[in-house]
Amino acid sequence: MDLLLLSLVAFSTSLLTAVIGLGGGVLLMLVMPGFIPLTVILPVHAWVQFASNVTRVGFALDQVSWSLLPPLLLGSLVGAGLGAALVDVITLDAWPLVAGLVILIVTWLPIDRWLPIDRAALFFLGFYQTGLGMVAGATGPLGAAILAKIRIDRDWLVVNTGLYMTLNHGIRGIAFGLMGFTLGAWWLWVVAMSIATLLGSWVGTRLRSRVPQRNFVGLFRWVVTLLALRLMWMAGSERVLA
């Protein structure tokens, strides 16, 4: 029953991400505790989200900007190496607050007028996404906010957000394997949830065209904002509890 419920959640979150471009990975991460042990959540989440994002890209290859790939890939490889080295020693107490503030700034201020969104920015995006993802899990909102500064077209933004998150989760999954994690008893969970995400991506891709571009822009920005505020709330609540 737990596997069925978590697969339904994976389907729903993948559908959401295929329509809006983000949010599904964070929601899945929030649901997974209680279904599987905390020690395997990050690796399992990485492979399931890899399936979700690679299928989202695969269903709309004509929207992919392949020129984004080299700097994102290089940054992701460097980030994965550093994240793997620091996974047992780094502390992330201040990360949610800082990340939330940066996401709000990128989303609502015209930073593209002051800072060029170029290959260097894409390298650091790949570095940040994959390196931080090794120790913190879902890290998509900042990258989505940055890509929105390059181009806000609905299909382009959703698909190319999927492109860099495919790199992120795939490289993280490989890095976890090199660190000694094997799917072992959890292979069936990964397979079932991955199939569910494939179906979610397929349905969401077909529903995305029903969202008008004007509505999509506003919805996208407010979803990013809510995720950023959630990060900041997490930081504040942890400080209070401490």
Of residues 123, 121, 117, the one with CA closest to residue 70: 123
pLDDT of residue 241: 39
Domain tally, the chain:
1
Report residue 52's pLDDT band, with 50, 70 and 90 as the boundaries: very high
Q: What percent of the chain has pLDDT over 90?
A: 23
Domain that holds residue 111: 2-241
pLDDT of residue 242: 39
Report residue 239's pLDDT band, with 50, 70 and 90 as the boundaries: very low
pLDDT at 138 over 60: no
Encode 180-204: b = buried (16+ Cβ within 10 Å), e = exposed: ebebeebeebbebbbebbbebbbbb
* 79 CB-contact burial (10 Å; exposed 0-12 / middle 13-18 / buried 19+): buried
pLDDT of residue 59: 94
pLDDT at 172 over 70: yes
pLDDT at 137 over 60: no
Whether 145 and 107 have beta carbons less than 8 Å apart is answered as yes
The stretch 88-116 carries a mean pLDDT of 62
DSSP E strand boundaries for the chain: none
pLDDT at 30 over 90: no
The stretch 21-25 carries a mean pLDDT of 80
Report residue 112's pLDDT band, with 50, 70 and 90 as the boundaries: low
- In whole angstroms, what is the distance from residue 124 CA to residue 55 CA? 25
pLDDT at 103 over 80: no
pLDDT of residue 116: 57
pLDDT at 10 over 90: yes
pLDDT at 184 over 70: yes
